[in-house]
Amino acid sequence: VKSILNRKALFDFAEAKEEVTEVNLDAELIEVDEQQKLHEMLKYLNSSFAITTDNLTMHLATDEKEFVLYTSGEIFNLNIDLIRKLFANENQKICFDAKNLMHELNNYGIEINNYFDTSIAIYVANEMDAEITLDDAFKLNNIATETKACALIKLKEIYIGKLINNLQLKLFSDI
């Protein structure tokens, strides 16, 4: 019965949550459009960070700063080896839909090492039967933000807590 109720709440979340609370992450948004900003980004992302991508950009973030890197830009192309090293290191990368991200990064010859996939954490913790988008995940958790990569860090915190409370952390780790 609990499982059915959880699923019903998930499928009805768009109607049920009319008011979305803005998550204030106090994150600074930085466009990486020159070499100095790239070096600042690489220095700042020396530990765990979150990543989102679209057709034109990579957003790499900690809870304080989100860096926007244009994948067709000169800075990206000139420094692809440094960017590959960033993704290959042992620091955890927080993402949504790691499989899709790996395919996108593979277009640039980038392999990702040590990642936390929030989409799988959401799937396990909510006992879901259906896939959701990143925007759906934010709505489900009352998160409204311009800095989606920073918000992934918040999603990870929420779902680590849920996985622990639901005694599902081992199940998540085994997937």
pLDDT tens digits along 58-69: 999 998 899 999
Mean pLDDT of the chain: 82
- pTM for the whole structure: 0.80
Two structure tokens written together for 58? 């990579």
- Highest mean pLDDT of the ranges 17-26, 85-94, 161-170: 85-94
pLDDT in tens, 120-156: 888 888 777 678 888 888 888 888 778 889 999 999 8
Phi/psi region, residue 121 (left: phi>0; alpha: psi -120 to 50; beta: rest), is alpha
Provide the β-strand partners of residue 52. 59
Rg of the chain (C-alpha set): 17
- Model confidence band, residue 100 (pLDDT cutoffs 50, 70, 90): very high
Contact 97/53 with Cβ under 8 angstroms?
A: no
The yes-or-no verdict on residue 98 having pLDDT over 90 is yes
In this prediction, residue 26 carries a pLDDT of: 66
Sheet containing 49-53: order of strands: 28-31, 65-70, 57-61, 49-53, 93-95, 115-117
Distance between CA atoms of residues 36 and 16, nearest Å: 46
Distance between CA atoms of residues 112 and 64, nearest Å: 22
